[in-house]
Chain A
Amino acid sequence: MAKEECVSLWHNARETSSVRNRKVSPSAEQTHQSVTAPVSKNKQGDQTPSSNGSPADLSARTRADSPNILLLILVTGLSFATRLYKITDPPHVCWDETHFGKMGSYYINRTFFFDVHPPLGKMLIALAGYMTGYDGTFPFVKPGDKYEHHNYWGMRGFCAVLGSFLPVFAFLIVQELSRSQNAAVIAATLLLFDTGCITISQYILLDPILMFFIMVAVLSMVKFNQQSCRPFTASWWLWLMLCGAALAGALGVKFVGLFVILLVGLNTVGDLWGVLGDLSLSLMDVAKHFLARVVGLILLPLLLYGTIFAVHFVLLNKSGPGDGFFSSAFQSRLIGNNLYNASMPEYLAYGSVITVKNLRIAGGYLHSHWHLYPEGVGAKQQQVTAYLHKDYNNMWLVRKPGNETPSETPDLVRHGDLIRLEHKETTRNLHSHLHQAPLTKKHFQVTGYGVNGMGDANDLWKVEVCGGRKGDLVKVLRSKVRFLHKATGCVLYSSGKTLPKWGWEQVEVTCSPYLKETPSSQWNIEDHINPRLPNISISLLKPNFLEILLESHIVMIRGNSGLKPKDNEMNSKPWHWPINYQGLRFSGVNETENRIYLLGNPVVWWINLASLGLYLIMVAVASVAIQRGIPLQQKRMEHSDVLRGGGGLLFLGWLLHYIPFYVMGRVLYYHHYFPAMLFSTMLTGVTLDILLRSADLLLCQPYSDWLQKGGQMGLLFTVLYSFHLFHPLSYGMTGPLAHQPGSAMAGLKWMDSWEF
Chain B
Amino acid sequence: MKGKFFVDDSGPPLGHMILALGAYLGGFDGNFVWSRIGAEFPCGVSVWTLRLLPALGGALCVPLVYLLTVELGFSHLSALGAALLLLLENSLIVQSRFMLLEALLIFFMLLAFFSYLRFHNSPSRSWSRFCWLLLSGVSCSAAVGVKYMGLSSYLLLLGLASVHSWRQMGNRAVGHVSGAQSVLCLLVVPVLLYVFWFYVHLSILQHSGPHDQLMSSAFQASLQGGLSRITKGQPLEVAYGSQVTLRSSASQPLPCWLHSHKANYPIRYEDGRGSSHQQQVTCYPFKDVNNWWIIKDPGRQELVVDTPPRPVRHGDVIQLVHGMTSRLLNSHDVAAPMSPQAQEVSGYIDFNVSMAAQNLWRVDIYNREAESEVWKTIRSEVRLVHVNTSAVLKLSGVALPDWAFHQLEVVAEKLQKGHGSSLAWTVEEHRYGTSQEQKEREAELHSPTHINVDRKISFWSKFIELQWKMLTVKQEESEHKYSSSPLEWVTMETNIAYWLHASTNAQIHLIGNPVSWGVANLSLLAYQLLAMVYMLRRRRGFKDLPDEVWQRFVCLGFVCVGGWMMNFLPFLLMDRTLFLYHYLPALCYLHLLSPALLEHVHTHLTLRRGLGLCASAVLVSIFLSYWYLCPLTYGCPELSANQLLALKWRDSWDILYRRR
Q: Answer whether residue A407 sits at the interface, using C-beta atoms and an 8 A cutoff.
A: no
| Given A273-B539, A753-B417: A627 touches B166 (CB 8 Å cut-off) | yes
Which chain A residues (302-358) contact chain B, with CB distance < 8 Å? none
Q: What residues of chain A lie closer than 8 Å to B481, measured between beta carbons?
A: 441-442
Q: Are A441 and B573 in contact (CB under 8 A)?
A: no
A624 to B162, CA, bound (A): 13
Q: What residues of chain A lie closer than 8 Å to B169, measured between beta carbons?
A: 624, 627-628
Q: Answer whether residue B650 sits at the interface, using C-beta atoms and an 8 A cutoff.
A: no
Q: Choose among B166, B339, B341, B539 the residue with the greatest number of A CB atoms under 10 Å from its CB.
A: B539
A624 to B483, CA, bound (A): 47
Q: What residues of chain A lie closer than 8 Å to B417, measured between beta carbons?
A: 570, 582, 753, 755
Q: Answer whether residue B540 sits at the interface, using C-beta atoms and an 8 A cutoff.
A: yes
- Residues 504-531 of chain A, each 1 if its beta carbon lies under 8 Å from chain B, else 0: 0000000000100000000000000000
Q: Are B478 and A568 in contact (CB under 8 A)?
A: no
Of A439, A582, A663, the contact of B479 (CB 8 Å cutoff): A439
Q: What residues of chain A lie closer than 8 Å to B42, measured between beta carbons?
A: none
Q: Answer whether residue A629 sits at the interface, using C-beta atoms and an 8 A cutoff.
A: yes
Closest to A279 in B: B541
- Residues 381-412 of chain B, each 1 if its beta carbon lies under 8 Å from chain A, else 0: 00000000000000000000000000000000
Q: Choose among B170, B536, B540 the residue with the greatest number of A CB atoms under 10 Å from its CB.
A: B540
Q: Answer whether residue A277 sits at the interface, using C-beta atoms and an 8 A cutoff.
A: yes
Q: Are B479 and A441 in contact (CB under 8 A)?
A: yes
Q: What residues of chain B lie closer than 8 Å to A441, measured between beta carbons?
A: 478-481, 483
Q: What residues of chain B lie closer than 8 Å to A753, measured between beta carbons?
A: 417-418
A663 to B415, CA, bound (A): 27
Which chain B residues (521-568) contact chain A, with CB distance < 8 Å? 536, 539-541
Q: What residues of chain A lie closer than 8 Å to B652, measured between beta carbons?
A: 514
- Residues 614-653 of chain A, each 1 if its beta carbon lies under 8 Å from chain B, else 0: 0000000000100111000000000000000000000000
> Count of A residues near B, CB < 8 Å?
21
Q: How far is the CB of B382 from chain A (nearest CB, A)?
A: 17
Q: How far is the CB of B412 from chain A (nearest CB, A)?
A: 15
Which chain B residues (403-436) contact chain A, with CB distance < 8 Å? 415, 417-418
A672 to B160, CA, bound (A): 35
Q: Answer whether residue B172 sits at the interface, using C-beta atoms and an 8 A cutoff.
A: yes
Closest to A665 in B: B575
| Given A568-B341, A753-B417: A629 touches B575 (CB 8 Å cut-off) | no
Q: How far is the CB of B528 from chain A (nearest CB, A)?
A: 16
Which chain A residues (434-487) contact chain B, with CB distance < 8 Å? 439-442
Q: Are B170 and A629 in contact (CB under 8 A)?
A: yes
Closest to A629 in B: B172
Q: How far is the CB of A243 from chain B (nearest CB, A)?
A: 24
- Residues 478-491 of chain B, each 1 if its beta carbon lies under 8 Å from chain A, else 0: 11110100000000
A665 to B573, CA, bound (A): 10
Closest to A286 in B: B540
B interface secondary structure, majority: loop
Q: How far is the CB of B52 from chain A (nearest CB, A)?
A: 34
A283 to B536, CA, bound (A): 12
A750 to B540, CA, bound (A): 58
Closest to A274 in B: B539
- Residues 246-280 of chain A, each 1 if its beta carbon lies under 8 Å from chain B, else 0: 00000000000000000000000000010011010
Q: What residues of chain A lie closer than 8 Å to B573, measured between beta carbons?
A: 663
Which chain A residues (556-594) contact chain B, with CB distance < 8 Å? 568, 570, 582
Q: How far is the CB of B173 from chain A (nearest CB, A)?
A: 11
Q: How far is the CB of A442 from chain B (nearest CB, A)?
A: 6
Closest to A436 in B: B481
Q: What residues of chain B lie closer than 8 Å to A439, measured between beta carbons?
A: 479
Closest to A273 in B: B539
- Residues 666-690 of chain A, each 1 if its beta carbon lies under 8 Å from chain B, else 0: 0000000000000000000000000
Which chain B residues (602-660) contact chain A, with CB distance < 8 Å? 652
Closest to B339 in A: A568
A665 to B575, CA, bound (A): 9
Of B166, B483, B536, B540, the contact of A279 (CB 8 Å cutoff): B540
A440 to B577, CA, bound (A): 12
A753 to B420, CA, bound (A): 12
Closest to B478 in A: A441
Q: Are A276 and B540 in contact (CB under 8 A)?
A: yes
Q: What residues of chain B lie closer than 8 Å to A440, measured between beta carbons?
A: 479
Q: What residues of chain A lie closer than 8 Å to B170, measured between beta carbons?
A: 627-629
A442 to B652, CA, bound (A): 12
A440 to B483, CA, bound (A): 10
Of B172, B341, B539, the contact of A277 (CB 8 Å cutoff): B539
Q: How far is the CB of A583 from chain B (nearest CB, A)?
A: 12
Q: What residues of chain B lie closer than 8 Å to A665, measured between beta carbons?
A: 575
A279 to B540, CA, bound (A): 6
A276 to B169, CA, bound (A): 29
A665 to B574, CA, bound (A): 10
Q: What residues of chain A lie closer than 8 Å to B478, measured between beta carbons?
A: 441
Q: What residues of chain B lie closer than 8 Å to A279, measured between beta carbons?
A: 540-541
Q: How far is the CB of A494 from chain B (nearest CB, A)?
A: 16
Q: What residues of chain A lie closer than 8 Å to B415, measured between beta carbons?
A: 570
A568 to B420, CA, bound (A): 13
Q: How far is the CB of B656 from chain A (nearest CB, A)?
A: 14
- Residues 651-667 of chain A, each 1 if its beta carbon lies under 8 Å from chain B, else 0: 00000000000010100
A628 to B166, CA, bound (A): 9
Q: How far is the CB of B388 from chain A (nearest CB, A)?
A: 16
Q: What residues of chain A lie closer than 8 Å to B536, measured between beta carbons?
A: 276
Q: How far is the CB of A274 from chain B (nearest CB, A)?
A: 10
A279 to B539, CA, bound (A): 9
Q: How far is the CB of A490 from chain B (nearest CB, A)?
A: 15
A514 to B653, CA, bound (A): 12
Closest to A276 in B: B539
Q: What residues of chain B lie closer than 8 Å to A283, measured between beta carbons?
A: 540
A624 to B172, CA, bound (A): 12
Q: How far is the CB of A277 from chain B (nearest CB, A)?
A: 5
Additional A-B contact list (14), CB under 8 Å, known A568-B341, A624-B169, A628-B170 = A279-B540, A440-B479, A441-B479, A441-B483, A514-B652, A627-B166, A627-B169, A627-B170, A628-B169, A629-B170, A629-B172, A665-B575, A753-B417, A755-B417
Question: What are the 4 closest A-B residue pairs judged by CB atoms, nearest first?
Answer: A441-B479, A276-B539, A663-B573, A277-B539
16 A–B contact pairs at CB < 8 A?
A: A276-B536, A276-B539, A277-B540, A283-B540, A442-B479, A442-B481, A570-B417, A582-B417, A624-B169, A627-B166, A627-B169, A628-B172, A629-B170, A663-B573, A665-B575, A753-B418
